[in-house]
Structure 1
Amino acid sequence: MSTMLDTDTILAVDVGSVSTRASLFDVVDGHFRLIASGRAPSTAKAPLFDISEGVRMALDQVVAVTGRKLLDDTDLLIMPVTSQGSGVDSFVATASAGPKVRTVLVGLMPGVSTDSALRLADSTYLDLVGVFDLLDSRRESEKIDLILSARPDLILVVGGTDGGAQDSVLQLIELVAVASELFPPNQRPRIVYAGNRELGAAIADRVGERLDIALAPNVRPSLRVEDLGHARLALGEAIAEGRNKRVRGFDELEQWSGGSMMLTADAYGRVIRYLSRIYDPAKGVLGVDVGANNTMIAAAFEGDLRLSVETDLGLGEPLPTLLRQSSLSDISRWLPSEMSERMILDYIYNKSINPATVPTEDDDLLLELALAREILRLSLKRARKRWPKGRDLKSTWLMPPVEPIIASGSVLARAPRPGYAALTLLDALEPTGITTLVLDPHGLSPSLGAASGSVPMLSVHVLESGSFVSLGTVVAPVGNARMGRKVLSLHLELEQSSEDVVGEVRMGQLAIIPIQQGEHAHLTLRPERGIDVGFGGPGKAGALRIAGGAVGLIIDARGRPLVLAKDPDRRRELNMKWLYDIGARE
């Protein structure tokens, strides 16, 4: 097992439901850099149900690029680095692949422990198939029937503050035990208890010999304190154990990583939380990932992480479920040209069957980006309900200040031009004030999170390198103004050029000023009365130093919230215009 205390070379593997990625990091001029990456189809599903083949193919691509031998003659990872330069010093692994974990949630009190458990379930790869609590009006027999009909892989039991309720919690445990023992021995669900910690020993004594039960830290140690982080890690172990029984190959990665393999969502949340501690404390850090089987929204405010994993929203297998929450008109409103409902439905169902397919036609690309917008909007709306007071949906309908926004997902990374990704994020997230859009094209964030526990500077070094692509600085004015009215004046001084840019922006505009990556500029903004650009209130001017990006300086004065035209022809016309404005089309 590597401690990564004196690590130079780190190999990271992330096993997704569609793709498996391998990334090799090494120290160059005193800083960690991405040396090579490989990507291969995942082999966790039928017919193989073994991730090893996908991992080997991804590693082979890294070997082909670097010439570095990673595996020995018996196909085992070489660690640490040999005198001949083979192998790596450390290995980390993350995974989101595997079947969904059918889960029944059993709580003590609605509004307290049950709500905390629901938030916990929403932050990881659980498919909730049943929920009840002590005050549920159903009879015990009906609750047992619920468990039997749900056929869960896992039962999460919560309740009682530390030192609080005991008898009622034990009553719930006994009910769960009775139901679980009615299953055949090889089909019994695993039980995770995350309630009153003082009952842990008693619960283990009562049912530990009869059932598979794991004790986790209390999700609600007191009425005013919620602690999901520690329980999430324990729950992750239970999820991993269940996954390993159905899909082969994970045991090998566990061995290579010294038993520190993480769920992709947990690792993703870790890197976002870490970055929130080193960036502007007045703002949060937002991470969004549009995957095939789920969508992740991670927001952290001075280390306070709020992680959401939407297992029913993704651009793969769960795509048809989007239609239960969004209408076809909700999807088509983002298209720059007319498309029939039949074409949209055909694409949705074909994509759900073949999630690895890549758009080859322009219409397919635009539709997939429209689907990504709607998925992100729904995911963010759900996630913000669980954000801290003052930043949640109850406090404000507008997005709170965040810096930066880190986005990943194949739909964004493989867009033919960066403007497509930038406009998708602007439409879906509607950032306010001043922020930076950063694209993670190689899907490195989970790997950085997995390694950051031992090598925290890895995240910062790689984020500041060319491995992450800055799309540009975004200025999104907030305030009421008529269309066409001036909302701000700007003065841009490029550090590498003697030419300044002076201008004004009007309501409804999407304005782009190209600033190349690697260049910097001094930006002065003077908003009109009643317009807030993020300098402390409406009408307040300010200046800051900004960096260039693949798109440049983006001034999105289309309004917050973004209101699309009601007339379909006018709406499509504007959608096309914005694609040209942001450089996605020429």
Structure 2
Amino acid sequence: MELVRAILAVEIGSLITRVSLIDEVDGESRLIGQTETLTSRELPYRNVFFAVQEATAQLADLTGRQLLRDGRLLMPRISTGDGIDAVIVVTSALEPLRVVVAAIASDVSARSALHAVRGVPSVVLAVVTLDDVSARSTTGVMQSWLERQLETLLPLLPDVVVLAGGVEGGTVEAMKRLAHLINLKLSFTAAIRQPLPTIIYAGNTSVQPQIQAALGGHNCELITVANVRPALDQEVLTPLRQALLACYARQLTDVPGIDQLSAPDQTTLRTVAESQYVMTRFLAERQQQAVLYVDVGATTTTLIAAAPDQIAATLHGVCGTAFGVGALLSEVGPAAIARWLPFAIEEQELIERLLNRMLRPQTLPATREDCYLDLALAREALALGVAALRDEQTPLAYERLLAGGGVLTHAPHPGMALLALLDGLQPANELPGLLLPIHLDMLSLLSVCGGIAALSTDAAISIFDHDLLNNTPLATCIVLQGGSRIGEPVADVELITVGGDSERVQVRHGELIRLPLSVGRYAQVKVKPAATVRVGQAAPGEAVESDPAEVHGSLLGLIIDARGRPLTLPADGAERRRLLWSWLRAVGAEHSDSPYPEPVISLPEMPAPVVAAPSTAPKPRRSWFKRAPQPAKTSEATLPTTETVPASPDDDIAQLRQQVSKPARRSWFGRRKP
């Protein structure tokens, strides 16, 4: 172990391949250099070694060391210091497990089995339960329970079938019925000459012999683990989850080109999921505090909540920002994604952009709008993940947040990544204390450390401490819960810098405030909330303060989030986009007014007025006082049949003289004479 000094750590993701050089510096293992390139697993290459070779060549130019010879890795290290001693490979460029769950009750054993399945990159094809009371199939024909379930299962080709159900010492006949159903499914799969799935039994342990007898006639692997629901109020997920992880890791040797890296005895292979579990649990046990790790990738979104005595996780196997964008879009809809964009966009254009991303997943963001779109996808992916995590672990609590994933680490400004985390996770009741330290794994070292831990624990701890935690503090966050009206004061906050000045600010409901505190500085914070506002688990109105120098300096300093929980966005599009832009300015991601004009709403054109054709009838003559002559009233029977001759002007004057009377004479004093 002492001879292993220079380590080439390779992380092969579904989109990006990173190569890191680890070597001794002053007696400790440290990161020497890192490069990345696009993964070459997909067409036209179908060989991951090409991307590793290219990234290693770039790393050799960066560090000045020779790492390749004749296109192969130079192993072992030679006397000149060139070459490497070992290769660590962690990868997430694997197909998610296709899983079918068969259980007794949907809200008991099936729910527990799904909790375990979600802890592995997987896709649930179907859930079959005995309490399915529907009497009709998808075609509307009345069918028995067995017929309906077979109609569902026969077209599927799962990798794993999970059998669960029955508390310890409980029913036996129900599990026999499920085993009979799975036996019919296996017989059909064998008849059509398709690979048989692995069967994992995680039910009542007293029924294990009957399950083995029912399914033993097929040439398939049968794994028995501890009961996932031994009692109605108890859930045991770890044994089933570990069995699923082992099935998932079998794909490692099937990755095209993985055998070209080095000899098998010189290469350590690990899945990214396994490495993330190891390091998150390690951090929680060493710090003796609850930790939440999140990773938004191109294909998978990972959330792991670890405490010293327990761990919960959810990994959406086909929910990401590139390969997994299609599943995310169908899950949340385009409106949910568009609400996080600070610019106006038509729904059809948004859908076309997302579908184009799915068709060309290796296209990197080229504009700022593309970055905003990726971060909007990250928000919705995190929201789905944290909802599933809360369903497994209630209540969910964490005191430190560690984040990774290309969409966050490659954000143009760290404030954009922070907003995506706060908007997607919306931490509130999960925070037991005043402060939430947030770290951003900028170099994606957590998975690498998990792989190195299998070779050298000291090297893994050294890199984790020096190059990850101490090198990437993003911000320290305070969440104020309460307040009803936008703009009302909710708290007075004072930041007292060690060896410096203090800064006091009044926080209003709906605001997001940043107090800069540079890396290497320390401070104390005091919060005096309003009567209806609380911080962490403190009572409403209770003043709280941190320990002296507990607030560590970071890229963004201290962030005070008083936007309320749950976070509510305005329904009006223009108002919502102005609010989103104000948050970007608050965290320093933007410094000027929004450059995106609001769409001009144009009224529909009014139809042209219809002009009637001019009448050919002659216009009636009018008198001198513009009064039309009144026609004589005659009955319909006496109307002349011939055309009436118009009157002459002399007749009109004579008629007018007869209607005008002579005025009365007046006296000298204006009185009329009788």
Same fold (TM over 0.5): yes
Task: State percent identity of aligned pairs.
Answer: 29
Equivalent position of 1:273 in the other structure: 281
Q: Which has the larger displacement, 4-13 or 106-115? A: 4-13
User: What residue is the counterpart of 2:160 in the other structure?
Assistant: 154
Matched, 1:187 2:182: no
- Is the 2:449–2:464 contact (alpha carbons within 8 Å) kept by the matching residues of 1? no
Q: Which residue of 2 aligns with 1:469?
A: 472
| 1:94 paired to 2:90 | yes
2:435 alignment partner, SS class: strand
Distance 1:452 1:543, change over 3 A: same
> Structure 2 CA distance, aligned partners of 1:323 and 1:52?
32
- Output one character per residue of 1:11-31: Cα deviation in whole Å (capped at 9) or x when no partner: 332222112222233343454
Matched, 1:478 2:481: yes
Alignment partner, residue 16 of structure 2: 19
Segment of structure 1 superposing worse, 144-153 or 256-265: 256-265
Change (3 A) 1:108 1:484: closer
Q: Which runs of 5+ in 2 are unaligned?
A: 134-143, 429-433, 592-674
Shift of 1:75: 3.4
Question: What letter is aligned with 1:39?
Answer: E
Q: Do 1:488 and 1:528's aligned partners in 2 also have CA atoms closer than 8 Å?
A: yes
2:516 aligned partner: 514
State the distance in 1 between where 2:67 and 2:413 align.
34
Q: Which residue of 1 aligns with 2:587?
A: 582
Residue 49 of structure 1 and its aligned partner are, at CA, apart by 3.3
Instruction: Identify the residue that residue 54 of structure 2 maps to in structure 1.
Output: 57
Which residue of the partner structure matches residue 434 of structure 1?
A: 435
**Counterpart amino acid of residue 585 in structure 1:** E
**Cα shift at 1:149:** 0.5
Q: Of 298, 301, 305, which aligns to 1:299?
A: 305
- What's the CA shift for 1:349? 0.8
Would you say the 8 A contact 1:180–1:188 is kept in 2? no
How far 1:140 moved relative to its partner? 3.7
Please report how far the alpha carbon of residue 58 of structure 1 lies from its aligned counterpart in structure 2 after TM superposition. 3.1
Q: Which moved more, 1:467-476 or 1:290-299?
A: 467-476
- Describe the shift of the 1:117–1:48 C-alpha distance in structure 2 as closer, same or farther (beyond 3 A): farther
Counterpart of 2:245 (choices 236, 239, 245) is: 236
**1:457 shift after superposition:** 5.6
Paired residue secondary structure (1:47): coil
Alignment correspondent of 1:395: none
Change (3 A) 1:287 1:124: same
SS in structure 1 opposite 2:54? Answer: helix
Cα offset, 1:197, TM superposition: 5.4
Pick aligned residue for 1:344 from 344, 350, 355: 350
**Mapped pair 1:107 → 2:103:** yes
Alpha-carbon deviations, 1:104-151, whole Å to 9, x = none?
222344444322221121111221112213455654454344332112
Residue 363 (1) aligns with residue 369 (2)? yes
Post-superposition shift, 1:179? 2.4
Task: Say if 2:216 is the partner of 1:220.
Answer: no
Match of 1:530, SS? coil
Give the CA deviation at 1:342. Answer: 2.7
TM-score normalised to the size of structure 2?
Answer: 0.76
Output the CA distance in 2 between the equivalents of 1:378 and 1:541: 32
Tell me if 1:541 matches 2:547. Answer: no
Aligned residue for 1:78, secondary structure, equals: coil
Shift, 1:250, TM fit:
4.3
Alignment of 1:435-450 (within 5 A): 435-450=436-451
How far the C-alpha of 1:517 sits from its partner, in A, is: 1.7
| C-alpha distance in structure 2 between counterparts of 1:141 and 1:356, whole Å | 44
**Counterpart among 25, 30, 35 of residue 38 in structure 1:** 35
Report if aligned partners of 1:481, 1:487 keep a CA contact under 8 Å in 2.
no
Give the corresponding residue for 2:419.
Answer: 423
Instruction: Output the CA distance in 2 between the equivalents of 1:408 and 1:565.
Output: 29
Q: Determine whether 1:129 maps to 2:145.
A: no
Show CA shifts across 1:142-163 (max 9, x none). 4344332112233233345567
Q: 1:34 to 1:366 in 2, by over 3 A?
A: same
How high is the TM-score relative to the length of structure 1?
Answer: 0.87
Distance 1:527 1:460 in 2: 39
SS at match of 1:115: helix
Give the count of matched residue pairs: 568
Deviations 1:49-87 (A, max 9, x none): 3323233333333333334455666836735x5554355
Partner of residue 248, structure 1: 256
Partner of 2:534, secondary structure, is coil
What is the RMSD computed on CA atoms of the aligned residues?
Answer: 3.2
Q: Which of 574, 582, 585 is equivalent to 1:569?
A: 574
Note closer, same or farther for the CA distance 1:226–1:491 as it changes in structure 2 (3 Å cut): same
Q: 1:141 to 1:68 in 2, by over 3 A?
A: farther
Contact (CA 8 Å) 1:5, 1:454: kept in 2 or not? no
Worse overlay, 514-523 or 251-260: 251-260
Q: What CA distance in whole angstroms lies between the structure 2 residues aligned with 1:577 and 1:499? A: 27
Q: Which digits, 9 at most, give the CA deviation of each residue in 1:166-208, with x for residues without a partner?
A: 6654554454344224335862232132325566677667756
Q: Is the 8 A contact 2:183 2:214 kept in 1?
A: no
Identify unmatched segments of 5+ residues in structure 1. Answer: 392-399
Q: Using the alignment, how far apart are the partners of 1:295 and 1:7 within structure 2?
A: 33
Q: What is the CA–CA distance in structure 2 between the aligned matches of 1:219 and 1:90, rounded to whole Å?
A: 40
